[in-house]
Chains A and B, each alone.
Chain A
C-alpha cells in the first residue's frame, strides 16, 4: 500500500492522473492500430479482435440504451439481426414497392447499399418498438423485448424458404480480397473504425443535452417530464439511435467482414445475455467501460476453456507432473455468471470503474449512488484528437 501511495503521489505531482489516462488510452489506440501490422500475428488473432470490436459495439450501445437511458431492452440482438437479415435479403432478392414504382433488383444494389437499407430498416423497427414501449417500464419492458426478440428468431428459423433457416443467410461480401495473406487487415481496420465511429457518435449523444435528459429520465421519468423533458421524444430517439448502430454493426459484421453468414441461433437469449454480462462487467454506465468489458470478458471466456494451475513448493501430482489441470471448459459460463453476479452486487459500476475513476483524478469516494458522468465522457474533443 505504501508503494502505491508513493506511486500515486508521484503521478499526481508529475504528469497528472488525467493526462496519464489519456496517454494510456492513446497507447491502447496505437496498439490496436499497429496490431495487424505485426507479422507474427496470425489471421486468427485478427479474427478474434474483429469479433471483439463487434461485441464491443454491441455492449457499449446496450450500455447507452440500458445503463444511461434506463431502457432495459433484451431486443438488442434482434435489432442487430434485423440489420443483417434485411441487408442479406435485399442483396439476394431485391425489393419492389409496386405502388411507388420503386424497383430494385439484386444486381443493381451494392453491398454498401444493402447495408444502408438494413440499417435504415433496423432504425424504423426501432422507431415502432420504441413507440410501443412508451407505456412500459423496467420489468415489463424487459419482458416485451424478450418476446419481440424470440418472435423474430422463431420467424427467421421457420421461414427458411426466405431466410435460409438455420443454414443461415449469406450477405453480399463487403470486401473482395484476392490474396489470402493480406486478408483480414482491411476487415480489421474496417471494424475498428466502425467501433471508433460508433463510440464517438454515442459520446456525442451522451455529452449533449440529450444525454442529460436521458439520465434524468432514467432516474425519475415523471420528475423529468415535469421539468419539461420531452420523455416521449427522447425515449424513441434513443431506441432508434441504438437500433441503427447495432443494425449497421450487424450488417457490416456479417457481410463477410467478421462472419460469412448469420444464423438465427445468433439471436438466442443466451447471446443477448452474454452482451448484457459484458456490459455489466465492464460498467453499464460507461460506454468505453462496456466496450472494454466485452473485450476482457471474451478473452476471459476463451482463457477459461482449460486452466492449468502449477502447484507451488515443488509439490507434484500423483503422475509426477506439477501442473493441476482443471477442466474449466464446462464450468466457464458458470464462473462467468458468478463474476457477473458479484460485480452487480459489490461493484455496481463494473470492474473497470475504479480504474477509469482513478485516472479521472476526481477525488471520488466509492459511493453507492454513482450515476455520474465519467471523465471520459467529459471531453470528447480530447478523445477525438487522440484518435486523429
Chain B
C-alpha cells in the first residue's frame, strides 16, 4: 500500500507543478481604455548571479512608469487610449538566460517594445534577437561601448547593421567611454600624475578601466591597475601594498560595484590610505545612494564619486516626484538606472503616440529618433540615426542611436552621513554647486 501511496503522491506533486498558473495584471480608473493593452518587455536581473538589487529597482521603475502613464489615460493612438503593461523578464545576468527571456517576451508575451537590460553581456547577447524580430528597444543601463553600435560578435564579421537601413536598438545610458572622460578630465585638471585604478574583473570594470587608463596615459600620468574579483571582502593586504609605496598615489579610483566597492572604500578610509591629505578617493556612482553608502561605509567622508545621471540641483519636478516614490519604496535616493528605466517607458510611449501605431516598428523607430522630450533625467534626443545617418569622422560608432547628453559629474561628500542630494557637485565647472573642484579632507566648502 505504501508503494502506491508514494506513487499517488508523486503524481499529485507533479500535477501541482504543472498546474501553477500565471497571473495577469488588471486595472481600473477614470479613463476609457481600448481592449488592447500595449505591453513592454523589461529585461532586468532578478536573481543571482545577476545584480539583483539593480534588477529590483529597474523592475519597480518600469512598472511605476506604466502605472503613471495609465493614471494619465495611457497611450493615445488614433484617438483611442491604450493601457500600458510592463512584463519583466529575469535575465539572471546571464547572456544565455537573457536570450531565452528576450525571446519569451517577444514571442510569447508579444511585447510591442523592449527596454531595460543591466548587464552588458546580456545586452550584447540579446541585441540580435531584438533586431531579428524588429522590436524597438531602448536600453537603459548597459554601458559597454559595443552595445548600441554594431554589436561585436567575434565570428560574425557582418557590416555595421545601420547600413541595412533600420536599426531598432537605442540607448539612453552612457557608454563607458563617455563616463571615463569626465572623471579623467577632472583629475587631470587637479594636476594628478600618479593614479591607482582598482577594478573589478567584469564586463563593466575592464572596459571602463582600459578607457580611463588610456586617457591618463595620453596625458602623461602613470597608472597602475589592480584587478579584484567581485565578492572579495578583505582588501587590507592589497591596500597595505599601496600604502607601502615610497610615495602615496595622488588618487585611488575605484571601478568596482556593489557591496564589494563598499567594503573596499571603507577599508581604504579605515586604514587611512584615502581620502587623505595626499590621496584623493574616487568611488563609483553607487555612493550616490547615501543611505546605503553611509550604512556600509561609515568612514567614507570626503570621498568623491562619479554621478551618472541628473544631479540634484537640476532635478525637475518629474525627478523629484520619482525620487519621493522611490524613497517610499526603498528608503533611499533613486539610482540613475531606475530613472533611466522610468524614462525609457515614457520615451517609447511618446514615440508610439507620435507614430500613431504600436505595431509599425519602422514608424516607431523613426519616432524615437525624432524624440525631443523632457523627462526625469533631462532632455532626451538622438543625434545620429536614420534621420541623420552620417557619423562625422572621429565620432565613435556607439553614438548611433545614443542619447548624447547623459549628465556625468563628479560629486563629493563633505559631512558624514550627508544625503546624496546635498553632496557637492565639483566637476564639470558648469554644474558646480559649492564653487570648488575639490574639497580637501578636513575642510568645508
Decide if A303 touches B17 in the complex (CB within 8 Å). Answer: yes
Decide if A47 touches B100 in the complex (CB within 8 Å). Answer: yes
Decide if A260 touches B23 in the complex (CB within 8 Å). Answer: no
Contacts A43-B107, A170-B154, A308-B23 given: A154-B229 contact, CB under 8 Å?
Answer: yes
Asked whether any CB of chain A lies closer than 8 Å to the CB of B6, the reply is: yes
In the assembled complex, the CB of A317 is this many whole angstroms from the nearest CB of chain B, namely 12
Decide if A260 touches B128 in the complex (CB within 8 Å). Answer: yes
Q: Which of A45, A173, A296, A308 contacts B21 (CB 8 A)?
A: A308
Asked whether any CB of chain B lies closer than 8 Å to the CB of A144, the reply is: no
Decide if A261 touches B2 in the complex (CB within 8 Å). Answer: no
Decide if B202 touches A165 in the complex (CB within 8 Å). Answer: yes
The chain B residue sitting closest to A255, CB to CB, is: B155
In the assembled complex, the CB of A234 is this many whole angstroms from the nearest CB of chain B, namely 33
Decide if B3 touches A354 in the complex (CB within 8 Å). Answer: yes
Contacts A44-B104, A268-B49, A305-B90 given: A168-B95 contact, CB under 8 Å?
Answer: yes
Q: Which of B2, B8, B49 contacts A270 (CB 8 A)?
A: B49
The chain A residue sitting closest to B120, CB to CB, is: A167
Decide if A270 touches B121 in the complex (CB within 8 Å). Answer: no
Give the interface segment out of A66-74, A192-200, A321-329.
A321-329
Asked whether any CB of chain A lies closer than 8 Å to the CB of B144, the reply is: yes
Q: Which of B94, B124, B201 contacts A158 (CB 8 A)?
A: B201
Decide if A306 touches B17 in the complex (CB within 8 Å). Answer: no
Q: Which of B132-163 contact A (CB under 8 A)?
A: 132-133, 144, 153-155
Q: Which of B1-25 contact A (CB under 8 A)?
A: 1-4, 6-11, 13-14, 17-18, 20-23
Asked whether any CB of chain B lies closer than 8 Å to the CB of A207, the reply is: no
Asked whether any CB of chain A lies closer than 8 Å to the CB of B48, the reply is: yes
Asked whether any CB of chain B lies closer than 8 Å to the CB of A355, the reply is: yes
Decide if A92 touches B154 in the complex (CB within 8 Å). Answer: yes
Asked whether any CB of chain A lies closer than 8 Å to the CB of B26, the reply is: yes
Contacts A91-B155, A260-B153 given: A180-B206 contact, CB under 8 Å?
Answer: no
Contacts A165-B206, A308-B21, A329-B46 given: A157-B201 contact, CB under 8 Å?
Answer: yes
The chain A residue sitting closest to B23, CB to CB, is: A308
Q: Which chain A residues lie closer than 8 Å to B203 at the CB level?
A: 165-168
In the assembled complex, the CB of A372 is this many whole angstroms from the nearest CB of chain B, namely 15
Decide if B3 touches A366 in the complex (CB within 8 Å). Answer: yes
Contacts A48-B100, A167-B124 given: A263-B95 contact, CB under 8 Å?
Answer: yes
Q: Which chain B residues lie closer than 8 Å to A307 at the CB level?
A: 20
In the assembled complex, the CB of A28 is this many whole angstroms from the nearest CB of chain B, namely 14
Asked whether any CB of chain A lies closer than 8 Å to the CB of B47, the reply is: yes
Decide if B17 touches A51 in the complex (CB within 8 Å). Answer: no
Q: Which chain A residues lie closer than 8 Å to B106 at the CB level?
A: 44
Q: Which chain A residues lie closer than 8 Å to B103 at the CB level?
A: 42-44, 47
The 8 A CB mask of B16-49 against A (1 = contact, 0 = none) is 0110111100100000000000000000001111
Decide if B20 touches A173 in the complex (CB within 8 Å). Answer: no
In the assembled complex, the CB of A269 is this many whole angstroms from the nearest CB of chain B, namely 10
Asked whether any CB of chain A lies closer than 8 Å to the CB of B410, the reply is: no
Decide if A158 touches B154 in the complex (CB within 8 Å). Answer: no
Decide if A365 touches B48 in the complex (CB within 8 Å). Answer: no
Q: Which of A287-318 contact B (CB under 8 A)?
A: 296, 299-300, 303-308
Asked whether any CB of chain B lies closer than 8 Å to the CB of A81, the reply is: no
Asked whether any CB of chain B lies closer than 8 Å to the CB of A148, the reply is: no
The chain A residue sitting closest to B202, CB to CB, is: A166
Q: Which of B17, B26, B202, B229 contacts A299 (CB 8 A)?
A: B17
- Please indicate which of the listed interface residues B20, B26, B103 has the most CB atoms of chain A within 10 Å of its own CB: B20
The chain A residue sitting closest to B228, CB to CB, is: A158
Asked whether any CB of chain A lies closer than 8 Å to the CB of B78, the reply is: no
Asked whether any CB of chain B lies closer than 8 Å to the CB of A4, the reply is: yes
Decide if B94 touches A366 in the complex (CB within 8 Å). Answer: no
In the assembled complex, the CB of B13 is this many whole angstroms from the nearest CB of chain A, namely 7
Decide if A44 touches B49 in the complex (CB within 8 Å). Answer: no
Asked whether any CB of chain A lies closer than 8 Å to the CB of B125, the reply is: yes
In the assembled complex, the CB of B152 is this many whole angstroms from the nearest CB of chain A, namely 9
5 additional A-B residue pairs with CB within 8 Å, beyond A47-B104, A173-B155 = A160-B201, A172-B155, A268-B49, A270-B48, A333-B47
7 contacts between A and B (CB under 8 A): A44-B104, A157-B229, A158-B229, A168-B121, A168-B125, A261-B95, A307-B20
Residues of B within 8 A of A (CB): 1-4, 6-11, 13-14, 17-18, 20-23, 26, 46-49, 90, 93-96, 99-100, 103-104, 106-108, 120-121, 124-125, 128, 132-133, 144, 153-155, 201-203, 206, 227, 229
Lowest 7 CB-CB distances: which A-B pairs, in order? A259-B96, A42-B107, A308-B23, A303-B20, A44-B103, A44-B104, A166-B202
